[in-house]
Amino acid sequence: MSVRIITFANKKGGSGKTTTVVNLAAALGNKGKKCLVVDLDPQCHATLISGLNPYSPLKGAGSLFNNFHIENLIKTPSHKLFDIIPSFHKDNSYILYGSELKYKDIFSEISSKYDFILIDTPPGREDILTFCLSVSTELMVPMPLQFLAMEGLAQLLGLLYTISEKYNPNIILSGIIPVMVDMRTKHANAILKELKDTFGNDVIKRGIRIDIKISEAAWHQLPIILYAPRSKAAYDFHMLAEELLLGV
């Protein structure tokens, strides 16, 4: 199997991107898949919840764009379920506007080592998003079932189509993942129906239910499948990993 490079993006902040990347990577790792998380968010949240210190003086993802040898940027969290290229506050002031495409082959020398490369993206950084979509094979969109979270989707898909036409014809939208799901409200049901009508059942994944254990796990810097293996969210991440392994 050749590596699947998946960008996780949603223009809205707080829409579950980081939670999805880290916990899905752990669930895939638990099933024996080799995963690399790439934290391209200057907020360093994926780094923090993976148990690394974002205030480290070491080189991180920012140095990817500074001709640093990529293998030397890879770290392994203590749980060893995935590898990570962390983001460190002292090394993430990179700006890619205008030079996003210079780095298109950045993962080529490590791609044979991994089954999945999962990229966490920040809200509101079109330069980083353009780079990520240019180097990825897939886009996945974590999506709370709320009207405002859907607002940015059309814009994001506009960018995806531009990039697929100009730079990366093979990229696909492979998943919209409902997150923080609470199907007791009419509103959530209406949004889910609209998503399914628009994108079809294959693109819309089962999703991750709202579960306070997710925030607790992040606080303890552990993936949910280790922190609360019997929780609703741990079950949902196992199922999402299964869906990914079946798909595409």
Ligand X SMILES: Nc1ncnc2c1ncn2[C@@H]1O[C@H](COP(=O)(O)OP(=O)(O)OP(=O)(O)O)[C@@H](O)[C@H]1O
Under rule CB under 6 A, residue 233 binds ligand X: yes
CB of 149 to ligand X, least distance (A): 9
Does 18 sit near Mg ion (CB under 5 A)? yes
Give residue 223's Cα distance to chain centre.
14
Does 134 contact Mg ion by CB under 5 A? Answer: no
- Nearest approach in angstroms of CB 41 to ligand X is 5
- Specify the residue, 55 or 219, whose C-beta has the smaller distance to ligand X: 219
Given 11, 33, 45, 125, the residue binding Mg ion (CB under 5 A): 45
Alpha-carbon separation of residue 216 from 45, 130, 181, 220 (angstroms): 14, 32, 17, 6
Going by the DSSP 8-state scheme, the letter that residue 86 receives in this structure is: -
Residue 160's alpha-carbon distances to 10, 22, 64, 131, in angstroms, are 12, 23, 23, 11
* 26 touches ligand X (CB under 6 A): no
Element (H, E) at 130: helix 126-135
| Nearest alpha carbon to residue 205 among 196, 218, 194 | 196
Residue ranges of E strands in 9-97: 35-39, 83-85
Residue nearer to ligand X on the CB measure, 41 or 105: 41
Q: Which of 18, 47, 174, 231 binds ligand X (CB under 6 A)?
A: 18
Residue 11 or 17: the one with the smaller Cβ distance to Mg ion is 17
Q: How far is the CB of 17 from Mg ion (least distance, A)?
A: 5
Q: Which is nearer to ligand X, 135 or 214 (CB)?
A: 214
Looking at 40-48, 70-78, 104-112, 217-225, which segment touches Mg ion (CB under 5 A)?
A: 40-48
Computed on alpha carbons and rounded to an integer, the radius of gyration of the chain in Å comes to: 17
Cα dihedral value 128, 130, 136, 139, nearest 10: 100
Tell me if 179 contacts ligand X by CB under 6 A: yes
Rounded to a whole number of angstroms, the minimum distance from the CB of residue 179 to ligand X is: 5
Q: String of b and e for 131-150 (b: at least 16 CB within 10 Å)? A: bbbbbbbbbbbbbbbeeebb
Choosing among ligand X, Mg ion, none, which partner's interface includes residue 13 (Cβ < 5 to 8 Å by kind)? ligand X
- Site for ligand X contains 180 (CB under 6 A): yes
- Of the pair 99, 177, the CB lying nearest ligand X is at 177
Residue 131 and residue 135: Cα distance in Å, rounded? 6
**Interacting residue ranges for ligand X, rule: CB under 6 A:** 13-19, 41, 43, 45, 122-123, 179-180, 208, 210-211, 214-215, 218, 233
